[in-house]
Structure 1
């Protein structure tokens, strides 16, 4: 019984982290129908931003998350204005090659700037690396990252439902033509969506930094996880992102306990099965994966 409780706690915490890492990817796809293959590299840059913020100023990433978020919001605006604005209405392959090329560029730029060394930071003082809850050991860094995930996911939902720009984002995601007829400017919505999506991704990288190592190719792991979460929960569904992250975290933790060697293969197996059986995910709209902008 104790082992089951520990697995559940570990799986839920890991799932919350995965959901946070995938939220920016799913938000951008849900509105702009763009699969951002550079998503992992933006998360990697968020990790390095947290590392250098801590190293140079002493501000830990949990407290410096708003700074990272603001900086990456501007990065997201530049990402759309400098690249995606010219490909947003182009065929899907154009967007794939554009974001994939950016992914390669960012990864190699990070390699030149910071070398291939693994970097991490220690925040929690000795003796506070984990806490015990009902007999289950909870890693403190994972718990803080999970709480950030919950707070950001709730904030995004409130923003989308309670603000004018949030409702405009939802309108464009549901029907671009109807949104235009209602006087909504799609380009402004896309600009804000990319800014918000990349800001969330940067913050995700920052709060994950104390739990993982940062190196130029770390984004390759996280982008695979993000794709699995998005496909599992549903393309374009924020609630689906939460569900997909939790399910993947629980499945991966359970398989890792039974057969540790197969834990990494979980992502590939789930992705292939979901794409073959239910490509729109658990909470996604059927056909969303085939929608295009016109």
Structure 2
């Protein structure tokens, strides 16, 4: 149960950017998994180049790189697809982008598995309910909760948040107020890419990754968002935790199951609660 919750915190981070982009732009970013893997590679090379800097501190430049990448991608490419008014256009564009990024990473970095050594912090443990639990997974879960809470507060209590919510609901009306929806979309995609690449860097410190890892991460992020409820941030948290627990319990009782029971939970949720645990967009 504890390991499932700790894994679910990372899964929730996978879904945060996807939920944000859908909630504001009504776009399902099929390249989201490749964003996660790009974050893993960015962190891997930064740690190698700046070995004197603590591994945990490299999360900051990875997130900043992610924001710049997402902002530029939205400004130069995705805004044109969103303006088309056809929901299939951004869907197909991000699908093509995912294929391009995946093959580009294979060409640049090769197909070998890599990982980031988290150092002493990665091997540290603590006692929790009489069990020995890794410190780093606990910190990841706390970071996930802090990011979700911060994003929720920003969207609900700041001028930027009000602008984002108004743009999500009435993109044509906000133009009359002097707001450019395209600029808001750039900021939102920048945040989504920053969250995705940050989650990818954290993932690289827990498991091996390759350029092909994005497909599986995209599937996890999609399931997290659907189980939680499209556009609901706290629903994504719940979806990530539930998915992590289902996967670990499934592996406990059937070591060959892998993620089977997590995927079954996704299908059951679709049948029983099509709008997710949160009941829709919050």
Question: What TM-score, normalized by structure 2, do the two folds share?
Answer: 0.92
1:274 shift after superposition: 3.2
Unaligned runs of 5+ in 1: 1-7, 289-294
Unaligned runs of 5+ in 2: none
- TM alignment of 1:83-102, pairs within 5 A: 83-90=77-84, 91-102=86-97
- Which residue of structure 1 aligns with residue 226 of structure 2? 231
Instruction: Tell me, in whole angstroms, the C-alpha distance in 2 between the residues paired with 1:278 and 1:181.
Output: 38
1:28 shift after superposition: 0.5
Paired residues of 2:115 and 2:208 also in contact (CA < 8 A)? yes
- Which residue of structure 2 aligns with residue 54 of structure 1? 47
Paired residues of 1:61 and 1:207 also in contact (CA < 8 A)? no
CA RMSD, 1 decimal: 2.0
Describe the SS at the equivalent of 1:120: coil
Deviations 1:140-166 (A, max 9, x none): 332222222122212212221232112
Paired residues of 1:118 and 1:215 also in contact (CA < 8 A)? yes
Find the partner of 1:241 among 209, 224, 236. 236
Bigger mean CA deviation after superposition, 132-141 or 193-202:
132-141
Describe the SS at the equivalent of 2:82: coil
CA distance 1:127–1:76, shift in 2 (3 Å): closer
- Which residue of structure 2 aligns with residue 291 of structure 1? none
Paired residues of 1:60 and 1:123 also in contact (CA < 8 A)? no
Bigger mean CA deviation after superposition, 198-207 or 162-171:
162-171
Instruction: Tell me, in whole angstroms, the C-alpha distance in 2 between the residues paired with 1:180 and 1:137.
Output: 55
Instruction: Tell me, in whole angstroms, the C-alpha distance in 1 between the residues paired with 2:269 and 2:178.
Output: 37
Find the partner of 2:280 among 265, 269, 285. 285
CA distance 1:220–1:193, shift in 2 (3 Å): same
- TM alignment of 1:179-194, pairs within 5 A: 179-194=174-189
Question: What TM-score, normalized by structure 1, do the two folds share?
Answer: 0.88
Instruction: Tell me, in whole angstroms, the C-alpha distance in 2 between the residues paired with 1:277 and 1:79.
Output: 37
Instruction: Tell me, in whole angstroms, the C-alpha distance in 1 between the residues paired with 2:231 and 2:277.
Output: 11
Residue correspondences, number: 280
Find the partner of 1:171 among 166, 189, 192. 166
Instruction: Tell me, in whole angstroms, the C-alpha distance in 2 between the residues paired with 1:28 and 1:242.
Output: 16
